[in-house]
Each structure stands twice: as structure tokens, then as C-alpha cells.
Amino acid sequence: MNRIEKLFETKPERVLNVYFTAGYPKLNDTLGIMQSLEKSGADLIEVGIPFSDPVADGPTIQESNGVALANGMTVKLLFEQLAELRKSVSIPVVLMGYINPIVQYGVEAFCKKCQEVGVDGLILPDLPMFEYMEVYKPVFDAHGLLNIFLITPQTSEARIREIDNNSKGFIYMVSSASTTGAKTGISTDQEAYFARVKAMNLKNPTLIGFGISNKETFDKACANANGAIIGSAFIKAITQEGDLDSNIEKFIKDIKE
């Protein structure tokens, strides 16, 4: 069983998935941030692969992508940084990125490296379902990688059912039709969307992302799903001055306690 599936089997609620961009704020911070996240109480780690045109992301994450690329982060270097990952990090790890850098690296080679270093799944917002099913799924499956799909308030019930039937791990519930970090708080319209999805009784757990930034929004998301994903607010926390490890510990503590 994949680590992501094991996580939701042992902890079906209040799962905290934290996103950050590899190579940010400094090039070699990647593994240290992951170690601090696990130590501080994160349940799942989502590592962003820097890309020059991260279309799903708002200004905070876009800026972190630009800094990471300027620092010299590449897919090849990321795998080198993650070579010793499983000696110090035991929680599930997902790589989030866009399909272009993966195709340039070579899909088979990329999936093989993911398996070697201990990555559990991928989130690729610009990978269409039909292309995944026809081209990529056999390769992902061969290397034990779960593909995590996103849904939005505009996603039809039929489409959500299709995603639920063709994926494992969890479904990424985008809270609104905007980019990451664009909104704070949760509206009544969003709560109606959460309730609609919850009533579908999907086989996969759901995690709510986009607009989750503090304890209040995390708690509200957890009342409507199996947990939540925090990205932009965490990027801001690790951008602050001071000790990186202490900043991470305080951020996670403030969210969870």
C-alpha cells in the first residue's frame, strides 16, 4: 500500500498537507524544510517543482518559483537533494508541478527517480485525464506513483465521479476558481460546494486547498473534508527573517493547536 493510502487509513481526518517550492528560499533548503515539517507535525508534504509559468499559482508561489529557478533549481538537482529523503522523512511526499519539465526530463526516467527516492504521488494540474489514462497511467503504476487530480466548484458531478474512479490517494478540492493564495476565508458558496462533494460519498478522501491560511480556515476545511492543503501562507512563513526551523515549527503549531 502506498504511503498516502496508509496515511488516510490511519488518520482519516484533519490531515495537514503543506506545500513549498523546492529550492526556496535557498537552493539547498529543500530537505531541511521537509525534515522540519515532519518534526513539527505535518502529515503530508507537497514539494513544488519550480516552473517558469506556474499557471495555477498566485503571486506568492509564482515568486517562489522565480527565486528557486534563479537559485539554480532543476528537476535533476531536486532528485539529488531527495536522494537521502527516506533516511530522515517517513511521511508521504508528493511532487507538484507541470507536465512540460517532466516530459523534457523523460517521463519514464522521472517516474523511476521518484520511486528510487521515495516519492509517493504527483500533482500535475495541466495533465488531462484522457492523456493520463492513455499514456501515463501505466508508467505511474509501474513505479508506485499515485496521480492526484484537482476538482473545482465548476467541475460537474460526472467529471468528479470519473476522477474518483480513475485515481487513488486523495482528490485535491480547489476551493474556488482562482489561483493559489488569491483569497482568504471561506464563503457560503464554497461551503455549498464542499457539502455537494461530501454528499457524493466518494471512495477517495478529499483535501481542500487554495485559501487555507490559518487555524480558522484549516478547521473549516476539515469540517468539510479529510483535511486541507496550505501553500502560500507557508511560503510567506519561511520567507520571514529568523531561524527557518523555528518559523516552521511555529507555523504548524499555530495551524494545528
193 alpha carbon, distance to own chain's centre:
21
Instruction: Give catalytic status of residue 43 as yes or no.
Output: no
Cα(83)–Cα(39) distance, integer angstroms:
19
Q: Among residues 29, 38, 43, 57, which one is catalytic?
A: 57
For residues 100 and 7, give the distance between their C-alpha atoms in angstroms, rounded to a whole number. Answer: 30
User: Contact, 222 vs 214, CB < 8 A?
Assistant: no
C-alpha cell at 216: 480558522
Distance (Å) of CA 53 to CA 45, 105, 240: 22, 17, 25
Q: Which of 29, 43, 46, 164 is catalytic?
A: 46
Is residue 57 annotated as a catalytic residue, yes or no? yes
Nearest to 173, CA basis, from 123, 248, 134: 123
Helix (H) or strand (E) holding 228: strand 227-230
Which grid cell sits at 252? 504548524
Q: Write the CB contacts of 106 (distance below 8 Å, at least 6 apart in sequence).
A: none
Annotated catalytic residues are: 46, 57
